Amino acid sequence: IRFVFTLGHIALQQLIYLDITVYSELRKRNQVREERKAEEKRKKKAGVGFATPARRGRCDDLRRQTLMNASNASASSRGQRSASVLSNKASTVNTTMTEEEAGLEGAVADDADAEYVRAVCERDVAAGGAALARYTPLLRWLLSNPARTTPQAQAAAALTYTRFMLVSSSVCEEGLQLIVTVLKKSKNVSLRTNLTIAFADLTLRFPNLTQPWTRHIYDILSDEELEVRQCAVKMLSFLVLHEMVRVKGQIADMALCCADKDARVTAMTRLFFKQLSQKGNALYNVMPDIISRLSDPELKVPEEQYRYIMKYITSLIQKDRQMEALIEKLCQRFKLSTEERQWRDLAYCLSLFTYNERSLRKLIENMDCYKDKLHCPGVMESFTALMNHTSKMAKNEIKALVTELGDKIEECFAVRDAEEGDKDGSDGADKHAAPKPTPRKAPRRGRRRSNSSSDEENEPPNKPPQTPQTLRKSRRKPATKNKTQVVDSEDSDDDDFEKKTDDDVFKKPTTRKGTRRRN
């Protein structure tokens, strides 16, 4: 175990020596070299501008000639002035260009030094034919076979291997999958914590390599162990706030920690979102994804917990323009949602915002998106709370808009009730409508064609009870129409009521039948 730990310590110290000591020394040497070049250039300029006796004599001759030529004195003086101005400008431009060239040379030299240090770390420390590279297979075997090693040996191997990965990008790219697998499957709490910290270090050094694996760190936020959750919250907060990890919809998993069982995790997460809200539009850009992700039925977030989280996060949105855009986006989300729980969650989030005239108009303009969801239990309650809270404002314009919103909601309910009434009426008519009566087939010998009206056809015949012989004849030739029962005059009240009802029900179909016969 000590030997394995020593290997990782050697790799880390070599990285520190190359990346800090050697690189700093190379930069100092470049600065000294640049200063010497600048000093030599200044000496050359000073040597060119020094006035010798011969030059002073030539200047005197020129002055005498200018005095003798009085007619051209003014012109020559103006020419000398313009020439001096041009020479001063040229010298200033040359000085500026010299400084810029010197700065560019320094930047190029620094880049060359950084590239040199990176190349040395890449091929001469833990990769290729380096001495430490020989122990890489041993470290991978210790991590891949936890049943054959002790937890202490596996922890030492994980620490050493992550340090090798910090030194070389090729080793890092090769070992990321193994590290993430151990992080998810290991039962050793300290090992998972150390790997989480190591992943953050790797992200700082090689962000492009670790970016596809960042989603696995978000999964650790729901770990059962408190120590692992705390470490994951700290590392992700650091990486996101320093813009080493892009803020995407996966930040919703971070929002769940706002309602964590542990008070420290809750406090750290709330502080993270507060700092994130101060970084431009970072929080605003992911708010719709957070709301939709937490209301997903597959995630099964309790409704009370969801409301607790969203009440805090939406309170961090303070800009009016952001609120207006969010209101419009949430209204559009109603079209994409299919569950009643999602409708209730979206309506609750809409009730949390502070509304002005523009935001209320946005809500009214997008009513087509949510008007068919107002009947859902909980949705109308949220809109009622929204209108009650907004109507308390002193502005008459806002109160008028709230009244307009309420009127439109009432119209939606009225239209819905009318549609349901029409539907119920049509269903009731279909339910109570009787089938079309068919004529009774009489025996061939005594068959008569009736040309009476429809009212006479449907009246129950006042015949005496059939004899057994008549019943036998009717069984031989069954009728397609249901038999009517003949009752005595003693139950006249009930019979009259039944006859009237039957006449009313069968009146319309019988009339159609008679019409067909007339044709």
Predicted local distance difference test score (pLDDT) of residue 73: 45
pLDDT confidence of 10, banded at 50, 70, 90?
very high
In whole numbers, what is the pLDDT of the chain averaged over residues?
Answer: 75
Mean per-residue pLDDT, 246-261: 88
Predicted pLDDT at 394: 62
Of residues 330, 246, 256, the one with CA closest to residue 292:
330
Give the residue-averaged pLDDT of 220-239: 92
Predicted pLDDT of residue 97: 44
399-419 mean pLDDT:
81
Closest CA to 329 of 353, 307, 309, 312: 353
Residue 370 burial (C-beta neighbours within 10 Å; 0-12, 13-18, 19+): buried
For 143-174, the pLDDT digits (tens) are 998 888 898 999 999 999 999 999 999 999 99
pLDDT at residue 139 is higher than 90: yes
SS3 68: helix
**131 DSSP 8-state letter:** S
How many CA atoms lie less than 13 Å away from 287 in the CB half-sphere?
Answer: 29
Burial class (CB in 10 A: 0-12, 13-18, 19+), 273: buried
- Reply yes or no on whether the pLDDT at 105 is more than 50: yes
Mean pLDDT, rounded, for 372-390: 87
| pLDDT (0 to 100) of residue 378 | 87
pLDDT category, 69, cuts 50, 70, 90? Answer: low
State the average pLDDT over residues 440-463: 40
pLDDT of 422 reads: 55
More confident residue, 128 or 2: 2
Q: Is the pLDDT of residue 511 over 80?
A: no
pLDDT of 458 reads 39
Between CA 259 and CA 237 the distance in angstroms is 16
Among 14-28, 280-294, 503-517, the minimum mean pLDDT is found in 503-517
Predicted confidence band of residue 255 (pLDDT cuts 50, 70, 90): very high
pLDDT band at 513 (very low <50, low <70, confident <90, very high): very low
Sign of the CA dihedral with 68 first, then 74, 78, and 84 last: positive
Say yes or no to pLDDT of 428 above 60. Answer: no
* Residue whose C-alpha is closest to residue 386's, from 340, 341, 352, 343: 352
The DSSP call for residue 22 is I
**Rounded CA gap, 152 and 154, in Å?**
5
In this prediction, residue 443 carries a pLDDT of 41
Q: What is the pLDDT of residue 470?
A: 36
The pTM (predicted TM-score) of the whole model is 0.66
Cα–Cα distance measured from residue 108 to residue 147, given in angstroms and rounded to the nearest whole number: 52
**Does the pLDDT of residue 299 top 90, yes or no?**
no
167-195 residues labelled b (16+ CB within 10 A) or e (exposed): bbbbbbeebbebbbebbeebebeebbbbb
Percentage above 90 pLDDT, the chain: 28
Question: At residue 77, what are phi and psi to the nearest 5 degrees?
Answer: -65, -40
Predicted pLDDT of residue 23: 84
pLDDT at 256 > cutoff 60 = yes
133-142, 377-386, 466-475, range with the lowest pLDDT: 466-475
Span 378-382, mean pLDDT? 89
Query: Among 71-80, 316-325, 374-383, where is mean pLDDT lowest?
Result: 71-80
The larger pLDDT score, comparing residue 457 to residue 333, is at 333
Q: Go through the chain and tell me how many residues it has.
A: 519
Q: What is the pLDDT of residue 425?
A: 52
pLDDT score, position 65: 58
- Report how far residue 115's alpha carbon sits from residue 138's, in angstroms, rounded to the nearest whole number: 30
pLDDT attached to residue 348: 93
Query: Above 80 in pLDDT, residue 315?
Result: yes
Higher pLDDT, residue 420 or 446: 420
**pLDDT > 60? residue 225:** yes
For residues 291 and 346, the answer to whether their CB atoms sit within 8 Å is yes
Region 363-375: what's the mean pLDDT? 87
Structure tokens at 390: 């907004």
The backbone torsions φ and ψ at residue 130, rounded to the nearest 5 degrees and listed phi first, read -70, 160
Q: Tell me, what amino acid is at 197?
A: I
Q: Give the pLDDT of residue 288.
A: 87
The confidence score (pLDDT) of residue 47 equals 63
DSSP state of 194: H
The whole-number pLDDT of residue 113 equals 79
The tens digit of pLDDT for each residue in 172-216 reads 999 999 999 999 989 889 999 999 999 999 999 999 999 989 888
pLDDT: which is higher, 129 or 72: 129
Q: Measuring CA to CA, how many Å separate 325 from each of 142, 337, 390, 482, 491?
A: 53, 19, 18, 68, 75
Q: What is the mean pLDDT of residues 428-445?
A: 42
